[in-house]
Structure formats: C-alpha cells, structure tokens
Structure 1
Amino acid sequence: MTANEDGGEDRHEDQLTVDERTATTYRRTFLKGSAAALGASAIPVSAVRASTEDGNNDERRRTPDTARSSEGMVSTVHPQATAVGVDVLQNGGNAIDAAVAVQFALNVTQPHGSGIGGGGFMLVYVAEEDELYAIDNRERAPLGATADMFLDDQGEPIPFEKRITLGEAVGVPGTLRACDVALKRFGTQELSKLITPGIELASGACPVTVDEHLASVIQEEQSKFNDAARSVFTPGGTPLKAGETLVQEDLAETFRQIKNKGIGAFYGGEIASATAGVVQKHGGSMTEKDLARYNVTIDHPDVGEYGDLTVRTQSLPSSGGLTIAQILQLLEKLDLRQYGRRSPETYHALIEAFHLAYADRGEYMGDKALVDVPWQGLLDEEYVDQRRSLIDFESADLAGVEPGNPWDHQPGQPYRIVAQNESNTAPSERTNQKRAASSLQSDLGQTTHFTTADSEGNLVSWTSTIEQFFGTGIMVPDHGFMLNNELTDFDAKPGGPNEVEPTKRPLSSTSPTIVFKDGAPFMTVGSPGGKTIITTVAQIILNVAEFGMSPAEAIAEPRLYDDVDPEVIWEPGLPSEARQQLQALGHEFADEPMPLGNAQAIFAQDGAYLGVADGRRDGSVVGL
C-alpha cells in the first residue's frame, strides 16, 4: 500500500484545520444553498508530502480521496457503490435511502466484506428531530447454541482457522432487517426501488470488474469455499483475476425475490430453508425459526467527550463506544500536543492507553441485554484518573496489565443476575477467570464501512460485516450470498461476559461514529479491521481534536495498534527513530509494518460537507 506520510506542506484549500472550522454553525437547512460557491463536484486532495525519514518511500500509503459539496455526500470503499448512493440522492432520496442502496451494492462489489448474510451497526442522525439513533443489526446466536460449542473433545478451543469455517460460527443475519427497519422509520423510498441497482450489478447488466483487492482475497481465501462459492469466485477451478467480470446471477435472483416479496422472502420460505439447511450441513444448529424470529434493536449510542467534541459511538454489544471513550479520556489530560503527533511520547501514551482500555474491554464487556456491564464505572473520572496514573513516560510496563475494578465506581448495585461463571468482583478476587488474549489473526476480521449525508442534514454512519473475508466461506446454494462467521467473536471457552448463549450477540469492535461539536454534527467516521477498528477511530478523532489536522491529514496519518499483548502493530511512515526510542523504553514492535483500517468520513464544516475516503484501499467519495 502507498500513502502520504508527512501531512501538511501542500495543503489544498479544502483541507481546513480544526481552528478554521470552529466558527461553523449548524442549521438544519444549512445545505440548501448557503455554500453554493463551494461547488458540488468531487475534488481530489493534493498530495501530502511523504515522509522519507525511515526510507520507506515505496511503502507510502495513498492520499485519501476527498470531495466537497453543499447538497450531499457518499463515501464508500468502492466507486460503483458510491455512484449508486449518489444516484439515490440525486433522485430525491435521503441519506438513509442512499445508505440502504449502498449496502446492497456493496454486497455485490465487495462480497468478501459484507452482505445480507451478515450484520452490523448503523448510526442515523435525523436532522428534523435533532436526534441520533443506533440500529443494532448484530448477528445473534441461534437457539441451539451452547457455551462449549467451540471446544474440542478435550475441552480445548478448536483452532481458529477451523472454527471460522464451521456451521456453528454462523450467526443469524441482521443486515437485511436493518435495511427494512431503517427505511420504514427514517427513509423516503421503498426497498424494492433501492435494491434494483444491486440486481443490475449482480446480474451483469451493469458490469462489475474484479479489482486487485478482491482478486487477492479470492486467491487467499479460496480454500475455505464450499461448492457454491467456488462456482462464482473460482469458476472452473481458477480464481477470478483483477480485470475480469464478476457475475452473481444467483444473488441477483435472491435480490429479485426480496424486491418482489419483501424481506419475508429472506427470513422465511425457500431462502430461509436453504440457509438453515446449509448451516446444519456444516454442523451448526440454526433453524428457520431462528431466522423468522430475528429483529433489530433501535437504541441510543454511547457518549464520550474530548475537549469540545462529543463522541457518539455504538453501544454494547459493540465495545467500540465504551473503549474509544475510555481511550480518549485516558489521553486527554496528558496534553499530547506539547510533544507532537509523531513523537515517542505520543506513541508511548497511545500504546499504554490501549493496554489499559483493552484489559477492561476483555474483562467486563458483553451483550448488554444479557450481561451486567459497569459502563458508568468504566468512564468514571476518578476511575480513569487511577488507570491513567499507571502510565509512566519513563518505562513501558503495561503490556498484559490486569483490568481495573470499575465496579467500585459504578453507581448503585448490579441490575441483572450475572451469567453463569461470571462475577461482579474484582479480577484479583476470582479464580480461573483470567481471559486469554485472542490472536491478532482472529481480530483482523474485515468489514465494510460507509457513510452518507443529504441536503437536509441527515447522516448515516454504517459498519457492515460478515467477519473474516468471505465469512465462513459458505455460500447459500442457489441463492448467492455468503454466510458470516460472527459467532467466533464469542469467547471459545465458557465463562465471563462474552461466553456463548442462545440469542446472544457476540462482542464486537465495530465503531460507526458521529462526532458533535457545539451540539451539531461535526463528523462521521468508521473503519473495518476487527479489534483494530477501535484504535483506528480513536486515532482519527485524536488527530483532529488534539493535533488540529485536516480531515485528509487525520485519515492519512500512520496508525499503530496494540491491545493487551506486548507486540505493537504499526504502519509504514511511523518514524524509525521513534520506534527505536520506544523499543529502548521496552515496547516490542512487529518486524514489518502493515496497513490498519480503511476509514470513510464526512465532515460538516462551513455550511457544507467535506468527504474523505481512505487511500489504504480504493475508497471513493463523491459529492452532489
């Protein structure tokens, strides 16, 4: 991957700093001509000068794609999906309508990352109500799921590489239900209209060309495909190559059935029977009843603060909201601006804050419908001050740190009976309750994030997923969609808040986010990347709020990732001198860099939208 490292020498006029945006005043009609002089076309950002300090010019990440508009915006990971969303906005649809159409299009153009065989989390800002909603369409465990279903005969976890291909890994899909509910509650157009572009893409009427990214994923993941998936992605035994046309006629026909009969065609009848049948063939317990009883929840997001920004992110069972809020709260009082963004001090503070937050994440978080979580205690100021005091700028001591005890700072008493083997006591008071850290391999599940905005000020930030690339590798025969492996996000070993239970939603890191400033929407942001989503989104927010970066700079900036493990994962462009100083301090770095995340964002500024699509993949953003 290539990218621009330095950030800031050759700023385009649309790359405004935080200070330049502070005068922005939000009005519900602020896009109806108040910024007509800005124009409505996509404007590519000029190259941000690349850093050469570590000699990695050949590893530079690509400059983000940007666009500016006074009427609306769509930012996705694929140009054809972006074009579908823009077309909806141009023909009278709102941001919610556009997002649903984009979701169907991405099922076709990015079948390895999301689709109707998966689920996700969707934030919707409704300008007329001045209200933010979270539509939780996370996959659920079927009624037949058991706490020990990922253990072998010796009671040990089944190896992750095998676990992700099992029928037991498939959660009951929620994406299509979310499309339906979102349209009925917030949309203006019918699902039957919005699924039509997806049909045209899948059938080949509007050809889809395999890009380099999809071709490489097919090559890498083909060994886990069932016969139905092989017939589409490796026809005749040969993986599709970049530049070839991808036709998915079975998926097109499934979309046609949904168009004609509604989502009942998916959650019941022939499609549901085929879905349950193939899951059971691969060892899972899912039944047609599990599909028929699935529904989404509409909730309010978690809230965190950083300076004058209010960060609103998905609540549990996604750990994104609480963990991002805790990371930002840990960092805010450290005044990192005094050191500089690429200083050893800033990187050290990030790594240590990640250690602290992920320790608490792993110990306490699970599906809030079934688990009592000390969410107030985790963000209690006194508790966060105690945890921050463990950060020592003279040494790196927090890899493998024990979680704290937020229950001491949680108001009142637990309001639910705890799950079997779970305890509301401090970790030091428990026996056999230490949770093993999952491998990075299991945490790099891939998803798709996209975001839309319209002229009324409505916004959508939606992260959709089937977990690993191509999920389980199981395609529903004759129906053309891939099935997720989301249930591998549960802990394989029973015990603790994230153990498997029937109807439970597994813990997620998905973090669709909408940030507010002075009570008005300021930016949407999100990313794929498993547990690295949390640190990606947190760093982008920090880049804007603490270091005054422009939107494009904030997303292009090199990232790093760590959780409770000692090894730091890093991107090209992170200065070699800083790495050397951090290693001398005691941090361990992976031998080679790797790209982290693929963010899509929309900023509301000066009465217009500035959209940004990450350059780590072929992101595409277009304004009306």
Structure 2
Amino acid sequence: MGSLSLLGNAGSGNQAERSDHVYPLKGLLLALGLMLVVAGCGSDQNVPPPRMAALSSTRAADVVADRHMVASANPLASAAGLEILRQGGNAIDAAIAMQAVLTLVEPQSSGIGGGGFLLHYNAARQKIESYDGRETAPTQANGDLFLDKNGQPIDFHSAQIGGQSTGVPGVLRMLDLAHREHGRLAWPKLFQPAIRLAEQGFPVPPRLAAAIAEDPDIAHLPAMRNYFYGKDGKPLAEGAILHNPALAATFRDIAAHGADAFYFGRFAQDIVATVNAHAGRPTAMQVSDFKAYRAVKREPLCTTYRAYRVCGMGPPSSGGLAVAQILGMLNHSDLASLPPNGATATHLLIEASKLAFADRDRYVADPAKVRVPVRALLAPEYLAGRAGQIHLNQAMDVAQPGRISDPLTVGQASEHQFEPLSTSHLVVVDDSGNIVSFTSSIESAFGAHLMVDGFVLNNELTDFSFRPADKGRAVANRVEGGKRPRSSMAPTIVLDQRDRPVLAVGSPGGPNIIGYVAQSLILMLDWQATPGEAAAAPHILNRNGPSLIEEGTAAEKLAPALAQLGQKIEIRPLMSGLNIIAFRRGQLIGASDPRRDGVALGD
C-alpha cells in the first residue's frame, strides 16, 4: 500500500544540497586553532536495531559519548559548548555560550536580537523547568499594526522589512534568569568563545553564504550590505573570513555588566533608535518597553505517550501543545505494530496533525492576554474523541477546531498566516545529567534586516495574525501591546516512568517544527530509531492543508498511496534542523540534521 513513510533512506535527490552544505569541520577547526576543543569526541559507534537498519541505509552520524554532549546548528557553536563543559560548566552554561556563538555565525536564524524557549532538566531533582524568552510587542502596538489604510492585511514582505515587525528581544533576559537559577560558571566566562571568534574572525559557513546570496534586500540596506558583502561589492562567499568587532564589544559589555546592560543601557536605546529610523510603517517601540520586559518561568507541558512522559513548552508557543495533541491522538493506535515504511502509519500522523493544527489556529495565543484551554485540549476524553474522527481509509479535507466545554470568544484568522522556515535549536547534556533543549529565533532569515551593535533584530511580530478579528470575533493571536506572538517552537525532553531522561530534541522550521518534532519522537519511541536515523529521515507533515512530502527523497514514493486515501499532496524541500541527544544503555547518543551545518560533539 505504500513505500517509505516515517523512516527511510535520505534519498538521492537531496544529496547535492547536503554535499554543498557539509561543513568542513576538521579543516575549519584547524584553521581556527580549535582542534583541542573537539579532541576525544565520540564517533559513529552505535549500531541500530536490526529492524531499523533494514529500513534505513542512510542516516546522520550517531555520535557516542559517556560524560557530556552538545549538538547545535553550527560546529563552532557546538565546539564552544563543549569547551564550557570541559571547563566544568553545566548545561545552562554551555547553552549560553552556544547561543552567543550562534549570534555570530548563524545571524540569519537566531541571536540576542530575538527570543526563544528553553527546557531544563534538573537531574538532582528529576524535574523539568521551562523558560519563556519570547519577544513582546511594544506597549503601544495594536491590531492595526499590519493593516493597510483600507483595513486589509499587508503582504508579508512589506510587514517583515523594517522596525514595525521587531518585538522586544527576550532571549538574553531568559538566559540570564536560567543562569541565575542554575548556572555554575561565572557569567563573563560564557561569552569568551564568541568574543574570541568575533575578534579573530571565522569562515563564513555554507548556509550563511547561501542565505546572503539568496536575499536581494541586503544589497539595499547599508548596515546589512556593509557587513554581509565584501570589498568587491559581492555577497560574502563560503569560507571568507568575517570579523565582527561591534559584536565583540557588545558581548564584552554584556559579560561585564549582565543582561541589564542590554535592557537598561545603550543597547535598548540603540535598538529603539534603529527601529524607529527604519520603520517602513509607524512603530511604537520605546526604551520603557525594554525596561518592562520580563522572561517568564512557566510550568512545562507534560503528557503521557506510551510508556514515556513527553515534556514541551506551553503557550505562547503552540509547539508543545500541538505535539502533545498529535501524540495523544496516536496513543489510540498501535504504531509499533505497523510497518514504519507503510502508508497507514503516515496517514495516521497526517490526520492527527490536521486536527492539532485546527485547534492551534483557533485557541493558542499568549496566556497573559487570552485564556488558552490547555487542560481541555489535552484531556484524555477530548483527544479520544478527536482520534475518533480519523478514518483509516479516507482523509479528511480540512479539520475543524474541536468544541471544548469552556468555549472562548475568539475567532480564527480566515487566512493561513505565513511563518518563515527559520530558527535554530541546540541540545546539551552535562556531566551531572542536566539537560537543555533550547529553540531560539529571529523569525525570517535575517529577521527585520536591521543590524544594531553587531547583531540582527527580529521580525517576530509577524507571527501575530495580521487580521485582528474574524467574523465579528477577536482573533486569539491578534496584535496587542505587550503581548507575545504565538510560536511553533517545540523544544522537547522525554522521560521514562521513573522521571529518568530518555531523549532531548527540537528543530527549526517555522510551523513545520511541530511535524518535524512529532515525527522524530514517533521514530525513536515507537520504532527505536537512533538519533541519526531520526534526524535524516525524509519528512512528511501536514498543517491542516495539503500533505507536504520532502522533495528528492524516497518519501516521494508514498505519494500515490496517500493520494488514493484522499490526501492532497505537495512535494517540496523541507529544511529541518533537528538536533537530538538520546540516553541509551548508559551512553549518550547524539546527532545533528544533515540538512544543515550542525554537528554533535561529546566526551
């Protein structure tokens, strides 16, 4: 009835793309004098279970370690995290150092000009905590932010470029909060790898070079052009050495004076001045918005799947809730008894995803502004009813949001809001068994295309619904002053029934994050895939529209069987960036998505 679904060969069609983007790690680290950082790291020593090996001959490298491990979207960021762990730092310390380096080497995806969500597993207490560093809208922003003079939504590109799309950055305040509660090394030490790289220079990574070349807006923005173009007036090529003395100075100030330097000092003033000077449309950001910003420590969203406890981020991220709903509905199916390469398992995942996205679009927003019925949406009887709407032999067209016992007076935007496929994810396990699973973003590639003090500003306000009302009812995710836009970020940590860690995972990819994470969890928990197999597996996902099949992979072979079930199919590139660490047989096994530049490192 089908060929490959949830797991299989990575396919030949993407080989050219991946080979173009394979980071020359050994040569790069030698050039920078960093080989000592990665000496002794694990290698591909883990043999997959026979069933999985028979299904997948191509996978990302499974890196094996005994003490500690990191995985991120860039080798230099991973090397920085490993350096901190070797100095006695813990998972929080390493994550801060890695985010600082990602601000430098992956400016198109994340950085201190954006926000993020972080899950932390406290090994001593066997407890998961979650930290919300999502951006906020300026206090004076309102539902007209992205409407034209006729009250109609403007196009995404017009909304993205310029200060009107920039929210108050939250990632640095969130990391400061997590460090105050759990950090082991001194705060200034955590910025030294990034400062060193910014001053000495680093080779432009493959994906950054590609992002610069593919972005025509950079050429028309002086600050961006001066940094991302060479003296010859051309976009920087892969391998060109790039220095960022402005960011080095920024990090020195933040290292010396803490996050308050960012929110109460010159950086807040510089950001406000830049945003207001470059606003394509009026912006209301003020320095007082920075002083008022607070990172929020929230209860993690944990649910049961099979014999596991799966924990993610609650609202304002929709990621944890949507993943939990998908898994909750699939709890009513015995996936482990189905062929991982069959159409039935894939069809079930697609249908559960449609139902989860319908609820996401209707109900999820900032819980400080909208009452989000999380308990009702995850109630076993509710999910059983939703699972009952899935038919094995016939696809539903478009799923409708479920009715809950406590209905909200909110509407659903009539258009599907565009969310760019950007962002970054990292995972860390330290010597004590503490874990960080951390997703951060500036939204689109290069965010709002505004640079301040060496870093790029976000365009996260475009994650709000552009329409403030739908059919006479206020949309839950409408723009409001001080509000956090809905996100799809889904950092995840899985525990066993005794609250011992099983794995940590997450991915970039806009709304596709939910599908990437759900698919990887099913692969590893139902079919015992290794992290490398799960990271490399071809993607099939659904956001309550057409089913998306990853172009150039063996997953394309499943299209006829799914179409016969009534699924509308679109074949396109699906650029995930999964980073995974699993706990198996007393060892750490990690992998980084081969579609990006990342690497897992450990001792």
TM category, shorter: 0.7 to 0.9
Matches within 5 A, 1:171-570: 171-203=167-199, 205=200, 207-224=201-218, 226-236=221-231, 237-281=233-277, 282=279, 283-397=282-396, 399-406=397-404, 408=405, 422-423=409-410, 433-438=411-416, 442-476=418-452, 479-494=453-468, 495-518=474-497, 519-570=499-550
**Displacement of 1:277:** 0.7
- Per-residue CA deviations over 1:180-200 (Å, capped at 9, x if unaligned) read 111111001122111111111
- 2:337 and 2:172 map into 1 onto residues whose CA distance is 47
Identity, % of aligned positions:
36
Taking the aligned partners of 1:616 and 1:310, their CA distance within structure 2 comes to: 29
Q: Deviations over 1:370-427 (max 9, x none)?
A: 1111111111222212211221122222x32211112x2x5xxx8xxx7xxx34xxxx
Distance 2:463 2:376 in 1: 24
CA-to-partner distance for each residue in 1:237-293, whole Å, 9 max, x for gaps?
311011111211211111122123322221123221110011112132111111122
Task: Letter of the 2:514 partner, please give it.
Answer: I
Computed over aligned residues only, the root mean square deviation of the Cα atoms, in angstroms, reads 2.3
Counterpart Cα distance in 2 of 1:295 and 1:567: 38
Corresponding position: 1:584 with 2:576: no
Corresponding residue SS for 2:479: coil
AA matched with 1:401: A
Give the 3 Å change call, closer, same or farther, for CA 566–6 of structure 1 in structure 2: closer
Q: Distance in 1 between matches of 2:314 and 2:450?
A: 29
Report the alpha carbon displacement of residue 490 of structure 1 after superposing the two structures with TM.
0.5
Instruction: Spell out, residue by residue over 1:535-556, the C-alpha distance to the aligned partner (whole angstroms, 9 max, x if none).
Output: 1111111111222222222222
CA displacement at 1:451 relative to structure 2 = 0.8
Q: 1:62 to 1:253 in 2, by over 3 A?
A: farther
SS in 1 for 2:595: coil
* Aligned mates of 2:379, 2:346 — CA distance in 1: 24
1:129 aligned onto 2:103: no
TM-score by length of 1: 0.85
In the TM superposition, residue 467 of structure 1 has moved relative to its aligned partner by 0.5
Larger deviation: 165-174 or 553-562? 553-562
Scaled by the length of structure 2, the TM-score of the pair is 0.88
Contact 2:93–2:190 under 8 Å retained in 1: yes
8 Å CA contact 1:201, 1:208 repeated in 2? yes
Q: In structure 1, how many angstroms separate the alpha carbons of the residues matched to 2:336 and 2:192? A: 49
Which residue number in structure 2 is paired with residue 138 of structure 1?
134
Q: Secondary structure at the match of 1:621?
A: strand
- Cα 1:574–1:270 change in 2 (3 A) is same
Contact 1:117/1:481, CA 8 A, preserved across alignment = yes
- Helix, strand or coil: the match of 2:358? helix
Using the alignment, how far apart are the partners of 1:75 and 1:556 within structure 2?
A: 15
Distance 1:348 1:490 in 2: 30
CA distance in 1 between partners of 2:545 and 2:203 (Å)? 40
Whether the aligned pair in 1 keeps the contact of 2:91 and 2:428 (CA below 8 Å) is: yes
Q: State the partner residue of 1:14.
A: none
Are 1:619 and 2:598 matched, yes or no?
A: yes
Which deviates the most, 63-72 or 533-542? 63-72
| Residues 479-507 of structure 1: CA deviation (Å, up to 9, x unaligned) | 11100011111100102211111111100
Q: For the Cα contact (< 8 Å) 2:9–2:59, is it kept in 1?
A: no
Q: CA deviation at 1:614?
A: 1.4
Q: SS of 2:467's equivalent?
A: coil
> CA offsets, 1:417-452, max 9 Å, x none?
x7xxx34xxxxxxxxx4422425xx22331110011
Number of aligned residue pairs: give it: 554
| Contact persistence 1:536–1:596 (CA under 8 A) | no
Asked if the contact 2:105–2:205 (Cα under 8 Å) also holds between the matched residues in 1, the reply is no
Secondary structure, counterpart of 1:195 in structure 2:
helix
More displaced stretch, 218-227 vs 80-89: 218-227
Give 2:98's match in structure 1, choosing from 91, 97, 102.
102
* Distance in 1 (alpha carbons) for counterparts of 2:420 and 2:284: 26
Change (3 A) 1:83 1:541: same
The 1:372–1:392 alpha-carbon spacing in structure 2 relative to 1, beyond 3 Å, is same
Q: Provide, for residues 62-110 of structure 1, a one-character-per-residue CA deviation record: whole Å limited to 9, x for no partner.
A: 7323322221111111111111111111111111111111110111111
* Structure 2 residue matching 1:603: 3-state secondary structure: strand
How far the C-alpha of 1:6 sits from its partner, in A, is 3.5
The 8 Å contact of residues 61 and 556 in structure 1, kept in 2 or not, is answered as: no
For the Cα contact (< 8 Å) 2:60–2:536, is it kept in 1?
Answer: yes
Tell me whether 1:82 sits opposite 2:60 in the alignment. Answer: no
One-letter code aligned to 1:582: L
Which digits, 9 at most, give the CA deviation of each residue in 1:515-536, with x for residues without a partner? 0012211110000001111111
C-alpha spacing 1:588/1:47, structure 2 compared with 1 (3 Å): farther
- Match for 2:390: what amino acid? I
2:217 partner letter: S
State the Cα distance separating 1:470 from its structure 2 match: 0.7
Q: Gapped runs of 5+ residues in structure 1?
A: 8-38, 52-59, 424-432
Q: Distance in 2 between matches of 1:510 and 1:326?
A: 15
Amino acid at match of 1:469: A
* Distance in 2 (alpha carbons) for counterparts of 1:61 and 1:295: 47
Query: Secondary structure, in 3 states, of the residue corresponding to 2:572?
Result: coil
Q: Give, in whole Å, the separation in 1 of the partners of 2:591 and 2:546.
A: 32
- Cα separation, 1, equivalents of 2:380 and 2:245: 55
Q: Partner residue of 2:17?
A: none
| Distance (whole Å) between structure 2 residues aligned to residue 313 and residue 245 of structure 1 | 38
8 A Cα contact 2:44 2:64, kept in partner: no
Q: Is the 8 A contact 1:560 1:596 kept in 2?
A: no
1:125 aligns to what SS in structure 2?
A: strand
Q: Secondary structure at the match of 1:185?
A: helix
